[in-house]
Amino acid sequence: MLLIVFAFFVSLVFAVIAKDEALGQLRFGGLMFGGFIASAVVLGWLMYPFPL
């Protein structure tokens, strides 16, 4: 849950800084948010076999 909130805020701010028009912001932010979530899931599974 915290990961999703974190990804949302970071994507929102980056999208607003990087793009000026609403559609561009939505596309950039959505892509970044999806990238955050996808990379977290992938890295989580990659780390799964390793003990702490």
Partner 1 sequence: MRATAADETQSGTLVLLCLASWAIPGAGHFWLGRRSKGLIFLIALPLMFAIGVAIRGRLFPFELSDPLVGLAALADLGIGATYFIASALGYGGGEVRAVTYEYGNAFLIVAGLLNMLVVIDVYDIAMGRK
Considering the complex, what minimum distance in angstroms separates the CB of residue 9 from partner 1?
Answer: 5
Which tokens hold the place of 47?
């780390």
Smallest separation (angstroms) from partner 1 to the CB of 14: 8
SS3 51: coil
Q: How many CA atoms lie within 13 A of 25 on its CB side?
A: 12
Q: Stretches 4-12, 31-39, 43-51: which one binds partner 1 (CB under 8 A)?
A: 4-12
Contact between 52 and partner 1 per CB under 8 A: no
Residues 8-47 that bind partner 1 (CB under 8 A): 9-10, 12-14, 16-17, 20
Q: Are 25 and 15 in contact (CB under 8 A)?
A: yes
